[in-house]
Amino acid sequence: MQYPIENQSNSPSSDRAAIERSPLSRLPEDDLSLVVQFVLCSGSLKDLAKRYGVSYPTIRGRLDGLIERLRAAVEDRPRDPLAETLAGMVQRGELTATGARKVLEAAKERTQDQKGVS
């Protein structure tokens, strides 16, 4: 599904409708703030980490969580509570981004194995 970069109509109501259809509209406020800051940092994770006062792996983990939530919104699928929990742990420094990815991969493999057994 594509989302128009530019609205063809000058109507404020059609502008609002386009925004409401955007997957970004389904993200929490803190994710939207991260998107804004990411753009203002010209996409530099190093600068973004500095702006938030966190390490590069922490901001990478936070961005990975945002990407997963955005993918879920684009694909119109439910949010993944495990992924969100792991993203929160990465943000708090309780788990590395690499560790979180490994847990998600293991959970996905286990789910696939269980579907194959049934």
Q: Specify if 5 maps to a domain.
A: no
Q: Specify if 7 maps to a domain.
A: no
Mean pLDDT confidence for 7-14: 56
Predicted TM-score (pTM) of the model is 0.59
- How many domains does the chain contain in total? 1
Task: Quick: pLDDT tens for 91-109.
Answer: 788 988 889 989 999 998 9
Range of the domain at 55: 12-117
Q: Specify if 3 maps to a domain.
A: no
Task: Quick: pLDDT tens for 31-85.
Answer: 999 999 999 999 999 999 999 999 998 898 889 888 888 888 888 877 778 888 8
Q: How confident is the model at residue 86 (pLDDT cuts 50, 70, 90)?
A: confident
Q: Specify if 1 maps to a domain.
A: no
52-58, Cβ contacts within 8 angstroms, sequence gap of 24 or more: 57/90, 57/96, 57/97, 57/98, 58/90, 58/91, 58/93, 58/97
Q: Specify if 100 maps to a domain.
A: yes
Q: Specify if 109 maps to a domain.
A: yes
Q: Is the pLDDT of residue 5 over 60?
A: no
Q: Specify if 6 maps to a domain.
A: no
